């Protein structure tokens, strides 16, 4: 049995005091210990940003790449060395702005990567500019009169790219975070964990409406495969589908003893319900001034979707092996030593 301390590097952790990234780092170290893959078979890739400092704090192989390009490097590492466990650390600015194309294509290709997307709705490292997930009207150093843009919803991007694994967690919920990371590793394919983290310096309290202890039970639901969708104090409320308002079904809150309460099936191939669950509560993130009410649907945490599909790295290596089986040249040097030429 491995211990979390084995995955701690000797580097001083330079996240700001109170930053939610501290909790995600500690959770990842615990998850790696539970997973049990040796440090020398684990690689952590990142781009640029506060979250992208993670490779420095983990006693594994790592690469702090350039802004937005962590996904491209992680894809190359996993495809060339499929035996390795590869984690990608990224943020809402790093992977949803300059790295947006890399992000959607690593999901579309279903590369076997574990992607932790730190969402604090701000550019923290560059001192407080609005990001692709900042709500409309958000006042920052780069939007002094409020941004006029509508924000991205990370879950929508993942589902739009036909993602096979999506989970969401809070920095203050260590058990759920560790569980999501362990399940992400078990999943074969692109696993995306949206980590809702607080930036105590430039966007303090951005997730407080669900992170506060007093309101968390009523405003969030932790989904677990095979279990009833219950939430609230003493699990007194549940989620059900209502089809009485026309052709489009909608999720509603019902008492916990209502026979209509749904059971979560994370392995259902049809993504319709998974998408509905992932988008619950997102109205609070769309525009400044939106405040939650007791009638709102809770935001979904835990593993929302986890389905099987062929992975990019498996397919590429299978193709290479198939071509090699019919070729005299088994290496690049052997190929260039032949009389064959390529016309440019």
Strand, coil or helix: what is 237?
strand
Rounded to two decimals, the pTM is 0.94
Joined tokens for residue 63: 């690469």
**pLDDT score recorded for residue 339:** 63
Joined tokens for residue 81: 């060395």
Rounded mean pLDDT for each run of 10 residues along the chain, 344 residues in total:
94 95 98 97 97 96 96 97 98 95 97 98 94 95 95 96 98 98 98 98 94 93 98 96 88 97 98 97 84 82 98 96 86 76 58
Report how many helices (DSSP H) and strands (DSSP E) the chain contains, helices first: 11, 11
Report the CATH number of the 4-224+264-306 domain. Answer: 3.40.50.970
**pLDDT score recorded for residue 338:** 74
Helix axes 70-80, 100-109, angle to 10 degrees: 30
**pLDDT score recorded for residue 244:** 86
Domain spans, the chain: 4-224+264-306, 228-262
**pLDDT score recorded for residue 151:** 95
Joined tokens for residue 153: 């919803």
Joined tokens for residue 13: 């952790």
DSSP state of 315: H
Report the DSSP pairing between strands 114-119 and 250-255: unpaired
Cα 147 to chain center, whole Å?
25
**pLDDT score recorded for residue 335:** 78
C-alpha distances (whole Å) from 34 to each of 30, 117, 214 are: 6, 21, 31
């Amino acid at each position: 049995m491995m211990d979390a301390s084995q995955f701690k590097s000797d580097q001083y952790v330079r996240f700001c005091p109170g930053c939610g990234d501290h909790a995600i780092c500690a959770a990842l170290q615990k998850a790696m210990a539970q997973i049990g893959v040796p440090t020398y078979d684990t690689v952590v890739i990142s781009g640029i940003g506060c979250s992208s400092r993670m490779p420095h704090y983990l006693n594994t192989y790592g690469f702090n790449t350039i802004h937005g390009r962590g996904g491209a490097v992680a894809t190359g590492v996993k495809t060339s060395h499929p035996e390795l466990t590869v984690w990608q650390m990224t943020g809402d600015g790093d992977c949803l702005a300059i790295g947006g194309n890399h992000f959607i294509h690593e999901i579309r290709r279903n590369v076997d990567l574990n992607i932790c997307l730190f969402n604090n709705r701000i550019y923290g490292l560059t001192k407080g500019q609005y990001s692709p997930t900042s709500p409309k009207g958000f006042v920052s150093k780069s939007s002094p009169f409020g941004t006029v843009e509508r924000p991205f919803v990370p879950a929508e991007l993942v589902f739009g790219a036909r993602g096979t694994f999506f989970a969401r967690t809070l920095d203050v919920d260590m058990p759920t975070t560790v569980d999501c990371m362990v399940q992400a590793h078990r999943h074969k394919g692109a696993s995306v964990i949206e980590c809702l983290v607080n930036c105590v310096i430039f966007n303090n309290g951005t997730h407080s409406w669900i992170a506060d202890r007093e309101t968390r039970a009523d405003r969030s639901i932790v989904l677990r495969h095979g279990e009833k969708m219950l939430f609230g104090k003493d699990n007194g409320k549940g989620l059900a589908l209502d089809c009485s308002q026309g052709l489009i079904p909608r999720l509603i809150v019902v008492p916990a003893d209502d026979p209509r309460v749904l059971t979560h099936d994370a392995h259902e191939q049809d993504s319709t319900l998974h998408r509905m669950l992932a988008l619950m509560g997102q109205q609070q993130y769309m525009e400044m001034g939106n405040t939650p009410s007791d009638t709102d649907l809770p935001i979904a945490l835990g593993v929302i979707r986890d389905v099987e599909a062929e992975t990019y790295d498996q397919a590429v290596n299978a193709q290479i092996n198939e071509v090699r089986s019919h070729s005299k040249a088994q290496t690049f040097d052997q190929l260039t030593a032949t009389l064959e030429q390529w016309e440019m």
